[in-house]
Amino acid sequence: MPEQRPETLATALRRWRDRLSPRDVGLPERPGRRAPGLRREDLADLAGLSVDYVVRLEQGRAVNPSAQVVGALARALQLDRAERDHLHRLTGLLPPADGLVDGHVPPGVQRVVARLGDLPVAVFAADWTLLSWNRPWAALLGEPGPDRNLALAVFGLAPAVSGSAVAHDDDALAAALVADLRTVAAAHPRDRRLADLLARLRTGSPRFARLWDSGAVGAHVSARKTVRHPRVGDLLLDCDVLAAPGSDVRVVVYSAVPGSPDAEALEFLRVTAGAGPVPAAAPTTGG
């Protein structure tokens, strides 16, 4: 009987890539292609990495990716929690500890997002860091910048998460985010990054500090918003915030009343935006 060799990072990545179809990640099927699974180019695009880096990972020539790169690969490959932890161990990293804000997007949530290709959809972590989004989202709100935390943007401590201006009840959104973050902080008391985020908000924004000291607790939920778009003008849209049971992530979906001018404008943006997903979270290293 041949000796059973231990699994490596290279073999695991190839195995996980081969089990996904383009349709699983919101990509069109390519006629005449016989090879199973995603191409390396697909995985690179989904994870925000260069194709050369993915090739080096799968050939065993790059063996120490950063935690940020590992997280992006786990999301792009739609790994469950056990597989995500296994990927961390294969790279010599400790899996994310329990009790921390988790940026992992469950495979089921990713499949839902991939199949909601007609609507602008994005996934946020519990601390309101943008994790992934589709092309209609980018067409509606602009390509996100490098600092993707919604709270920092709302309180003026970072560039806007999205490129287009959104007209809404700013006071209501700010109060809802503060109340939501207070709830998240109570649920994740050992998360240092969350504590650092809250400290940055409290010291950098008197408005945030005032709202925080008011003691409000709650959750940021659905609302109706007017998006001011440079190409199609104002769109009145429903913005729904959907929770994923058993996960920290929130799925945010924009939609319009069927048959309305807003729905027609949203469809125009979708058609002109192109097809396919955008990177899950472009890492700052490894690309």
pLDDT at residue 284 in the model: 34
Task: Round to whole Å and give the CA distance between 217 and 14.
Answer: 45
- CATH of the structural domain 107-167+219-273, one choice from 3.20.10.10, 3.30.450.180, 3.40.50.720, 3.20.20.140: 3.30.450.180
Phi and psi, residue 135, nearest 5°: -65, -40
What is the pLDDT of the chain when averaged over all its residues?
Answer: 82
Q: Do the domains 107-167+219-273 and 9-90 match in fold?
A: no
- Domain extent listing, the chain: 9-90, 107-167+219-273
Condensed to tens digits (0 to 9), the pLDDT of residues 172-187 reads 788 889 999 998 998 8
Percent of the chain topping pLDDT 70? 86
Plot region of 112 (φ>0 → left; ψ -120 to 50 → alpha; else → beta): alpha
Higher pLDDT, 98 or 257: 257
- CATH superfamily for 9-90 is lambda repressor-like DNA-binding domains (1.10.260.40)
In degrees, to the nearest 5, what angle opens at C-alpha 281 toward C-alphas 284 and 133?
A: 150
Using an 8 Å Cβ cutoff, are 172 and 180 in contact?
A: no
- Reported pTM: 0.70
SS3 139: helix
Q: Which residues of 85-103 are buried (b: 16+ CB within 10 A; e: fewer)?
A: bbbbebbebeebeeebbbb
Indicate whether 197 pLDDT > 50: yes
pLDDT at residue 274 in the model: 58
Condensed to tens digits (0 to 9), the pLDDT of residues 53-64 reads 999 999 888 878
For the chain, the residue count is: 287
Q: What is the mean pLDDT of residues 129-144?
A: 85
Indicate whether 15 pLDDT > 70: yes
Task: Round to whole Å and give the CA distance between 247 and 121.
Answer: 17
Strands of 161-248, DSSP E:
166-167, 223-229, 233-243
